[in-house]
Amino acid sequence: MSGGKDKRALRAAARFYAVQALFQMEKSGQTVESVRHEFVTHRIGVEGEHETWVEADLALFSKLVDLAVDFQASIDQLTDRALVAKWPIARIDPTLRALFRAAGAELSETDTPPRVVITEFVQIAQAFFPEGRESKFVNAVLDHMAREARPEAF
């Protein structure tokens, strides 16, 4: 694929899959290696009998998953500081926890502009929670996280 739109779509899919992979790791107790292998060989870009998984930027997918795992403690602390005092990350929905970990990894350890990261992960929240207020919550938490992690970008 070529062109800016295709690259953006591949990166957006990588972020979405990273959230799914992190969620799966937490729920199943699988290792990062086994989950990454499952996604790369059996999901991303695979056409099945009943469903097709879209292509994704595999390098970004792997980077976000690896960074989220490697820096989980510091990302969770960053997230905790952005949450209401009585709502530590351990108390929030596991899908949102996975989302904040993937977004925190991208905010803290890449050069992606923070506003792009926020926009992309708010869209992911809307995909997972189409009826809810979660996207506004995600926007507020990620804005706080981004301003702490990358204050020079604001």
Per-residue pLDDT of the chain (154 residues; tens, 9 = 90+): 445 669 999 999 999 999 999 999 999 999 999 999 999 999 999 887 788 889 999 999 999 999 999 999 999 999 999 987 667 777 889 999 999 999 999 999 999 999 999 999 999 999 999 987 889 999 999 999 999 999 999 9
- State the Cα–Cα distance between residues 88 and 84, nearest whole angstrom: 7
Q: Which of 92, 52, 75, 79 is nearest to 143 (CA)?
A: 79
Question: Quick one: tokens of 142?
Answer: 């990620």
Superfamily of domain 4-153: NusB-like (1.10.940.10)
The whole-number pLDDT of residue 93 equals 92
What does the alpha-carbon distance between residue 119 and residue 50 come to, in Å, rounded to a whole number? 31
pTM listed for this prediction = 0.92
Query: Quick one: pLDDT at residue 142?
Result: 97
pLDDT of residue 2: 46
Domain ranges of the chain: 4-153
Look at residue 48 in the predicted model and tell me its pLDDT: 79
The pLDDT assigned to 1 comes to 41
Does residue 75 contact residue 68 with C-beta atoms inside 8 Å?
yes
